[in-house]
Chain A
Amino acid sequence: MGRYAIRRLLAMIPTLLAIYTITFFLMRATPGGPWDTNERGLPRQTLDALNAKYGLDKPLYQQYWDYLVGVVTRFDFGPSYKMTNRTVTDIVTDFLPVSIQLGLIAMTIALSVGLTLGIISALNQNKLADYIAMFIAIVGVSIPTFVIGPILVLIFAVQFRLLPTGGWSRPEHMILPAIVLALEPTALIARYTRSSMLEVIRQDYIRTARSKGLREIVIIVRHALRNALIPVITVGGVLLAVVVTGSFFVETIFGVPGIGRYFVSSIANRDYPVIMGTTLMLATIVTFMNLMVDLTYGFLDPRIRYD
C-alpha cells in the first residue's frame, strides 16, 4: 500500500504540470490584462514600466518557464499585482486556513446530518420520514447559497439580532456561514447514503444477519452502513476538497476572509500569479483528496487491494 501511495503521489506531478500549462495559456489567452481594470487607461510608458516590473514583457514561453522554475525551486508563487504588499503565498497562508476551518465545520455538519438523514430515509423507504428527509435534501441542493444566505441573515441577524450579519472574529460569526456551506454536501451525502443503503439492506448477508437474530442496530451499523459508505466516501472526499477551498458566495455574503473569493476576484482582476497560485492549490488539494479517498476504500472493504 505504501508503494501504491508513492506511485500515486508521483502521478500527481504530470497532473499538476498539465493543469499549470492549461491554466497558464488559458489565462493569457483571455482578453484584457492586469492593467486594464481601471477607468483611466494607462499611458504607454506606464504600461511598459509595469510590464517590465513584473516580467510580462518577456516572451510567453520564457514567462511560462520562469514561473515554473520559481514555484519548483523556491516555492515562489509570485507577487499579487493588485495587493501591492502581498505575495500569493501571503494570500494563501492568510486565507486558506480560514476556509479550511470553516470547511471542516461545514463538512462535520454535513456528515452527521447527511448520514443520519440518509439512514433514516433508507430504513423508512416510502414512508413519511423518508419523504421529509429527502425533501430537506432536495431543498439543500436546489436553493442556491446566495439566496438562502441573505434570508438567514435577515431572520437571525436583522430581525432577531441573535447572530452577526457577517465578519470573522468570534465563534458566533461561524454559525450561519457553516450552516449555509453545509447545505449542499449534507443533501448530497444524504442522497448517496440513502441509495446505497437501500441497495445494501437487500443483500443476502443482511438477511443472514437478521436470521442469526442480531439486533437491528448492529445489523444497520456494522453490516449495512459500513458497506454502504463506499460511494459516500467517494463523493465525500471531493466535497471536502471543494468545501475547504472556500466558497465565493458564502465568503462574500458573510464577509468570511477565506480563499474562495480569490478564485473569482483574481480572474476579474487578471491577477495572473494569484490565478495560478489558487488554481494550483485547489488542484493539489483535490488530487490529494482523491488519493486519500482511494486509500480509505481499503479500510472499508478489505477485499480491495493496492498491488
Chain B
Amino acid sequence: MRRFWSPRPTRFLASVALAAIVVAGCAPQQPGQTTTGGQAPGPTQQPAAAQELRYPIETVRTLDPSLATDNVSIDVITKIFDGLVDLTDDGKIAPQIAEKWEVSTDATKFTFTLRSNAKWSDGKQITADDFVFAFQRVLDPKTGSEYAKTIEVIKGGDKALKGEAPPTSISAKAVNPTTLEVETREPAAYFLALMSTWTAMPIRKDLLDKFGDKWINQGNIQTTGPFKLQEWVPDQRFVLVRNEEYWGQKPALTKITMRVFPDGPDQEGQILRAYEAGELDVTGKRDVPPSEVDRVMRDPVLSKEVAIFDQSRTTWVCVNNIKAPFSDVRVRKAMGMSLERDRLINQVLKQPLKPAEGVVPPGILGRQPNAWPKENLAEAKSLLAQAGYPDGRGFPEFTYLYNSSAANKAIAEYLQARWKEALGITMKLEAMDFPVLIPLRRGNKTYDSFRCSWGSDFEDPVNWYNTLFDSTADQTQQTTNWKNDRFDQLVRQAASERDPAKRQQMYEEADRLMAQDYFTIPVFFGAQRVLVKPYVKNYKVSRIAEGAALRQVSIQR
C-alpha cells in the first residue's frame, strides 16, 4: 500500500498544480464535433465592413421544419428555408419558390407554378415532389408533427392524420416538376397564407431515406433559403452562410454567427452583457431585462441603439364563462375596465408593450378596437354593483393559474393587487410549470381563471378567430367555454370567403360580438425592446415567431 503514496506530499501538491496547468492548457472540449482540423475558433472581433452578423439565439431543438414548434427553432429554420410563398408584413402574399399560382373560384383548388431556377443548397432543383413529400410527411401520424393540424385542411389530411388512410392519399400532387396542385377539404381562402409557415416548407426525401432523424445535422441538411447551414455545434453556435445557389436576390450578409444562450433565469441579462462586451451586434429578439431598462435608457450610447418592434401577440386573462360569477358579462367587463394597463406595462413590467383593448392584435384583419369597453373605474364599480357585488361584497374568492416566470408573476401580482384595491375582490395566485398548466387548461369546465397568450403563426384572422375562438375549434388551447352561435357561423363563413371586402366585414362583425360578450379580459399586445449596433442596417424583428428577418440586413461601418 505504502508505495502508492508518495512519502512527500509536497510532490503531490506539485503534481496537482502541474495537472492544473496541463488541463487548463487544453482547448475546451467541443461537444458533438468530430472534426477538429483547422476549425476557426468561435466568434472574434470582425474586420470592418465584413458582411457578418453576430446574433444570439436560445436552445434550438430542431431544424426540421415539419417538427418545429418553438420560436427558437423557427428563428433558425426561417433563415435557411423558403416556402412556396411569403406573407409580408402588410399582409400580402408574395411569391417565393412559387412564382405564380391559381386559385379556383370556390377556393378549394390551388395550383402553384414553381420557379425552374429555384435550387436546393446543393444545386438540385426544387421540385413539386419535395412539397408533396413534405405535406405527406407532416400528415403522417408516425412523423409526430405537433403542428400537423396547420395543414390538415388539405383534402384527405384529417383521415391521414387519424391513420384511416395512407398519407399518400392526400390531395397534393406534382403534375410535373414545376407544377404543384393542392385541393382543400373545404373552401380555404387562407390557404396561401398557411403555405408561408414553416410547417409547409419542402423536404428532401432522399436525405430522409439516407440519414433518418439525423438529416438535419451539419453536412447532411440541404435547404432552400437565402442562407444555408455551415456549422452546428450543439448548444454553442450555428454558423449560417449565404446560399450561393439561391434563385433570388442574394442577401448582403455573407455569414451569420448565432451564438446559443442556454435557457436559464438570466438569459436576457447574459445576452445584454455579451452585447455590451462587443461580442454581439444585436440582441436578437430578446428584450432588455426589466432590471436593466432604466440604466439602458439613461446610457448615452445604449439608449441610441434601442429599437422597438411590435409583435403579433396578445396576453389576456381567460375566465370561465360558464362558472359564476364570471358567467355574468358585467363581472367580466368590470374586471377588464378596472385595470390600468399603462401602469402595469410601464411601471411593473417596463416593457414596450401596448395596452390591449381587444384580444386580437394590430395587423390582423377584422379588429374593432372601438367596440371594446374602455378603462373606466367608476363604470367598472357600477357594473360590479349591478351584478350583485357592490364593492366586491359577496364576490367569491377565486384562483388565477399561471406558468411561472418572472414576468408572469409580476403580471399576476399586479392583477391581484389591482382587483383588490379597485373592486374589492380577492384573487388567489397559483404558479406552476407550463407542462402542468397545459393539461389543466385542456377542456376544463370548472376552473376560475388563468393566463392566456397567443402569438400568430401567420398573420391571418383565421389564426385567431377560427383557431382560438370558434367554439368547435379544438378546445385544447384557450378554453373560456364561451359559445356564441352567430360568431361561430360568421368566422366559418369568413374562413372560406374569397372576396376580401366581405371577409373583412364578417370578421369585423365577429370582433364586435367578442367585444359585446367580453368573454375574456385582454391585457396587452406584445412588443420587444432590442439593441442594435448603429452599423447594422435594416434590422427588423418580425411580428411573428420567426425572430429577425436577416435577408435585407447589411453592415455599414
CA of A248 to CA of B264 in the docked complex: distance in angstroms? 8
CA of A174 to CA of B21 in the docked complex: distance in angstroms? 13
Q: Quick one: which of A41, A178, A226, A299 has the most chain B CB within 10 A?
A: A41
Q: Write out, one digit per residue, whether chain B residues 20-39 have a CB within 8 A of any chain A CB (1) or not (0).
A: 10011111111110000000
Judge whether B270 is part of the interface by a CB distance below 8 angstroms. yes
- Number of A interface residues at 8 Å Cβ cutoff, please give it: 80
Contact B146–A35 (Cβ < 8 Å): yes
Contact A38–B59 (Cβ < 8 Å): no
Quick one: which of B433-454 are within 8 Å of A by CB?
433-439, 441-442, 453-454
CB distance from B286 to the nearest CB of A (A): 14
Contact A84–B28 (Cβ < 8 Å): no
Q: Write out, one digit per residue, whether chain B residues 204-231 have a CB within 8 A of any chain A CB (1) or not (0).
A: 0000000001111100000000000000
**What chain B residues lie within 8 Å of A50 (beta carbons)?**
144, 146
Judge whether A281 is part of the interface by a CB distance below 8 angstroms. no
**What chain B residues lie within 8 Å of A46 (beta carbons)?**
141, 144-146, 148-149, 161
Q: A150-B273, A221-B8 are in contact. Are A39 and B261 (CB under 8 A)?
A: no
Judge whether A211 is part of the interface by a CB distance below 8 angstroms. no
Q: A252-B266, A253-B270 are in contact. Are A38 and B28 (CB under 8 A)?
A: no
Which of B7, B17, B31 contacts A95, CB < 8 Å? B31
**What chain A residues lie within 8 Å of B143 (beta carbons)?**
49
**What chain B residues lie within 8 Å of A78 (beta carbons)?**
none
CA of A269 to CA of B454 in the docked complex: distance in angstroms? 20
Contact B144–A158 (Cβ < 8 Å): no
**What chain A residues lie within 8 Å of B439 (beta carbons)?**
31-33, 36
Which chain B residue has the least Cβ–Cβ distance from A270? B435
Contact B69–A171 (Cβ < 8 Å): no
**What chain A residues lie within 8 Å of B46 (beta carbons)?**
none
**Stretch in B60-68, B175-183, B483-491 with 4+ CB within 8 Å of A:** B60-68
**Stretch in A12-20, A61-69, A103-111, A128-136 with 4+ CB within 8 Å of B:** A103-111
Q: Write out, one digit per residue, whether chain B residues 470-482 have a CB within 8 A of any chain A CB (1) or not (0).
A: 0000101100000
Which of A41, A84, A226, A269 contacts B477, CB < 8 Å? A41
- Number of B interface residues at 8 Å Cβ cutoff, please give it: 88
Quick one: which of B1-18 are within 8 Å of A by CB?
1-2, 4-5, 7-10, 13, 16-17
Contact B277–A157 (Cβ < 8 Å): yes
Judge whether B259 is part of the interface by a CB distance below 8 angstroms. yes
**What chain B residues lie within 8 Å of A105 (beta carbons)?**
20, 23-24
Which chain A residue has the least Cβ–Cβ distance from B435? A32
Which chain B residue has the least Cβ–Cβ distance from A160? B277
Which of A115, A169, A299 contacts B42, CB < 8 Å? A169
Contact B23–A171 (Cβ < 8 Å): no
Which of B31, B216, B477 contacts A40, CB < 8 Å? B477
Contact B8–A157 (Cβ < 8 Å): no
Q: A225-B9, A253-B264, A255-B262 are in contact. Are A84 and B216 (CB under 8 A)?
A: yes
**What chain B residues lie within 8 Å of A32 (beta carbons)?**
433-439
CA of A41 to CA of B453 in the docked complex: distance in angstroms? 12
Q: A41-B442, A221-B9, A253-B266 are in contact. Are A33 and B23 (CB under 8 A)?
A: no
Q: Quick one: which of A36, A101, A173, A178 has the most chain B CB within 10 A?
A: A36
**What chain A residues lie within 8 Å of B123 (beta carbons)?**
none
Contact B213–A85 (Cβ < 8 Å): yes
Q: Write out, one digit per residue, whether chain A residues 200-221 have a CB within 8 A of any chain B CB (1) or not (0).
A: 0000000000000000010001
Contact A171–B264 (Cβ < 8 Å): no
**What chain A residues lie within 8 Å of B261 (beta carbons)?**
166, 255
CA of A226 to CA of B2 in the docked complex: distance in angstroms? 12
**What chain B residues lie within 8 Å of A166 (beta carbons)?**
261, 270, 274
Quick one: which of A122-151 are within 8 Å of B by CB?
146, 150
Q: Write out, one digit per residue, whether chain B residues 416-446 have a CB within 8 A of any chain A CB (1) or not (0).
A: 0000000000000000011111110110000
Q: A253-B266, A300-B5 are in contact. Are A154 and B144 (CB under 8 A)?
A: no
**What chain B residues lie within 8 Å of A278 (beta carbons)?**
none
CA of A134 to CA of B243 in the docked complex: distance in angstroms? 59
Q: A108-B23, A161-B278 are in contact. Are A43 and B235 (CB under 8 A)?
A: no
Q: Quick one: which of A97, A257, A300 has the most chain B CB within 10 A?
A: A257
Q: A53-B144, A255-B261 are in contact. Are A158 and B277 (CB under 8 A)?
A: yes
Contact A252–B264 (Cβ < 8 Å): yes
Which chain B residue has the least Cβ–Cβ distance from A79? B213
CA of A105 to CA of B70 in the docked complex: distance in angstroms? 35
Judge whether B496 is part of the interface by a CB distance below 8 angstroms. no
Which chain A residue has the least Cβ–Cβ distance from B455? A39
Contact B262–A41 (Cβ < 8 Å): no
Judge whether A199 is part of the interface by a CB distance below 8 angstroms. no
Q: A49-B142, A94-B234 are in contact. Are A174 and B267 (CB under 8 A)?
A: no
**What chain B residues lie within 8 Å of A150 (beta carbons)?**
266, 269-270, 273
**What chain A residues lie within 8 Å of B434 (beta carbons)?**
32, 36-37, 268
Q: A161-B278, A167-B42 are in contact. Are A41 and B62 (CB under 8 A)?
A: no
Contact A154–B273 (Cβ < 8 Å): yes
Which chain B residue has the least Cβ–Cβ distance from A302? B1
CB distance from B221 to the nearest CB of A (A): 10
Judge whether A180 is part of the interface by a CB distance below 8 angstroms. no
CB distance from A259 to the nearest CB of B (A): 9
Which chain B residue has the least Cβ–Cβ distance from A40? B477
Which chain B residue has the least Cβ–Cβ distance from A225? B9
Which chain B residue has the least Cβ–Cβ distance from A252? B264
Judge whether A168 is part of the interface by a CB distance below 8 angstroms. yes
Which of B141, B260, B436 contacts A45, CB < 8 Å? B141
**What chain A residues lie within 8 Å of B213 (beta carbons)?**
79, 84-85
**What chain A residues lie within 8 Å of B214 (beta carbons)?**
85
Which of B19, B30, B263, B269 contacts A265, CB < 8 Å? B263
CA of A42 to CA of B63 in the docked complex: distance in angstroms? 20
Q: A33-B435, A222-B9, A252-B266 are in contact. Are A111 and B144 (CB under 8 A)?
A: no
CB distance from B122 to the nearest CB of A (A): 19
Judge whether A98 is part of the interface by a CB distance below 8 angstroms. yes
Which chain B residue has the least Cβ–Cβ distance from A50? B144
CA of A265 to CA of B279 in the docked complex: distance in angstroms? 26
CB distance from B467 to the nearest CB of A (A): 8
Contact A41–B455 (Cβ < 8 Å): no
Q: Quick one: which of B31, B43, B274 has the most chain A CB within 10 A?
A: B31
**What chain A residues lie within 8 Å of B455 (beta carbons)?**
39
CA of A6 to CA of B142 in the docked complex: distance in angstroms? 45
Give me 8 A-to-B residue pairs in the complex whose CB atoms sit less than 8 angstroms apart, sorted by A's number: A31-B435, A39-B454, A43-B149, A95-B235, A102-B28, A108-B20, A170-B27, A268-B434
Residues of A bordering B, CB below 8 Å: 31-43, 45-46, 48-50, 52-54, 79, 82-86, 90, 94-95, 97-98, 101-102, 104-105, 108-109, 111-112, 115, 146, 150, 153-154, 157-158, 161, 164-171, 173-174, 178, 217, 221-222, 225-226, 248-249, 251-253, 255, 257, 261, 265, 268-270, 298-300, 302
Other 14 A-B pairs with CB < 8 A, given A52-B142, A95-B31: A31-B436, A37-B435, A43-B474, A46-B148, A85-B63, A95-B234, A166-B261, A169-B41, A170-B42, A174-B24, A221-B8, A253-B270, A298-B1, A302-B2
Name the 4 nearest CB pairs between A and B, nearest first.
Answer: A32-B435, A41-B476, A252-B264, A49-B141
